[in-house]
Amino acid sequence: MTAGRDNWVDDEAGPLVRPYAMTRGRTRPANSDLNMITLVVAAKDEIDTVTLDADYVAILELCHQPLSIAELAARLDVPIVVVKILVSDLIDLREVIARNPTRDVRVPDMKLLQAVLDGVRRL
Partner 1 sequence: MVSDGSDEMPRAVKILIAGGFGAGKTTMVGAVSEIAPMSTEELLTEAGVGVDDLAGIENKRTTTVALDFGRITLNQQVILYLFGTPGQGRFWFMWDELAFGALGAVVLADTRRLETCFPSIDFFEKRGVPFVIAVNCFDGATRYDLKEVREALDVGPDVPLAMCDARDRESAKEVLVTLVEYVLSKQPLARATM
Residue number with CB closer to partner 1 (49 or 92): 92
* Residue 95 · residue 85 · CB < 8 Å: no
Gyration radius from the chain CA atoms: 17
41 lies in the site for partner 1, by CB under 8 A: yes
Interior/surface letters 11-27, b for 16+ CB within 10 angstroms, e for the rest: eeeeeeeeebbbbeeee
86 lies in the site for partner 1, by CB under 8 A: no
Least distance in angstroms from the C-beta of 94 to partner 1? 11
Least distance in angstroms from the C-beta of 57 to partner 1? 20
Site string for partner 1, 6-35 (x = CB under 8 A): --------xxx--xx----xxxx--x-xxx
Q: For the purposes of burial, counting CB atoms within 10 Å of the CB of 44, is it exposed (0-12), middle (13-18) or buried (19 or more)? A: exposed
Query: Which among 85, 90, 23 is positioned nearest to 51, based on CA atoms?
Result: 90
φ/ψ (deg, to 5) at 39 = -90, 140
Least distance in angstroms from the C-beta of 87 to partner 1? 9
Site for partner 1 in 45-74 (CB under 8 A): 66, 68, 70-71, 73-74
What residues line the site for partner 1 (CB under 8 A)?
A: 14-16, 19-20, 25-28, 31, 33-39, 41, 66, 68, 70-71, 73-75, 79-82, 91, 97-103, 105, 108, 110, 112-123
